[in-house]
Amino acid sequence: MKMGTVVRTLPRSSPAQLQELSAAGVATVHEAMGRTGLMNHYMRPIYAGTRIAGNAVTVLVHPGDNWMIHVAVEFCKPGDVLLVAVSAENYDGMFGDLLATSLRSKGVAALVIDAGVRDVADLREMQFPVWSRCISGKGTIKATLGCVNTPVICAGTYVSAGDVIVADDDGVVVVPYSNVEATLIAVRQRLAKESSKRDRLASGELGLDIENMRPALERLGLTYYETLEEAQLS
């Protein structure tokens, strides 16, 4: 996409869908999508204990330049997640409390950024959730065009505007907009299955037996010994 392209609109999911994805959490949603959609594990929350889901307003910026974030604010609506991708590896502090104040006034739910953030004490006090590659006080300039609401690559994932970003203490996962309903169906199945399994595990039953894994392990040659010495002699 040509640099300097700004798209004003994006599709949005229902509050109920977002709420259900947020409650399910990153690991479950990732599994429900066939183990896909996960951002690189270097994406971490700036403070623990938050979970969110919202449609992505995407921004593409260049290293050391946060200008397009300012352009993107105009198109954010309540519940959205501002998602910032960078055209190359970068660690600068592209976002701080002023931009957070601006996003808060629009009702934005969170920021996800493949670069640094700063003013993190203020952001924590505002309870404005951020997942980022790092924390850095390094300031940025406003000199080059990027894009808003075009597809981007962020922390190893492909994100289109409107895709649902789910984030919690485990990291960040991306649900393509058109997959939301199918993902929710798989999420519900997984949660139902996990719930009954959790009870059995809590009561001391082994996962090995619940899942009937012993025959497969035996076929592959798993061998039990009473002691290490016995194993070494065999």
Contacts (CB under 8 A) with a second copy, residues 175-234: 194, 197-198, 201-204, 206-208, 211, 213, 217, 220-228, 230-232
- The site for a second copy, by CB under 8 A, has a size of 106
Q: Please report how close the Cβ of residue 17 comes to a second copy at its closest, in angstroms.
A: 20
Distance between CA atoms of 82 and 113, rounded to whole angstroms? 8
Distance between CA atoms of 183 and 6, rounded to whole angstroms? 29
**Interface with a second copy, residue 126, by CB under 8 A:** no
**Interface with a second copy, residue 36, by CB under 8 A:** yes
The DSSP secondary-structure symbol of 141 reads B
Contacts (CB under 8 A) with a second copy, residues 157-176: 157-158, 160-161, 168-171, 173
Among 23, 63, 186, 188, indicate the residue that binds a second copy (CB under 8 A): 63
Closest CA to 147 of 103, 55, 88, 84: 84
Q: Are 162 and 12 in contact (CB under 8 A)?
A: yes
Among 1, 19, 77, 192, indicate the residue that binds a second copy (CB under 8 A): 1
**Interface with a second copy, residue 77, by CB under 8 A:** no
Residue with the two structure tokens 């203020």: 122
Among 14, 34, 127, 233, indicate the residue that binds a second copy (CB under 8 A): 34
The full length of the chain comes to 234
Nearer to a second copy, 4 or 15 (CB): 4
Distance between CA atoms of 55 and 162, rounded to whole angstroms? 5
Give the distance, in angstroms, between the CA of residue 65 and the centroid of all CA atoms in the same chain: 23
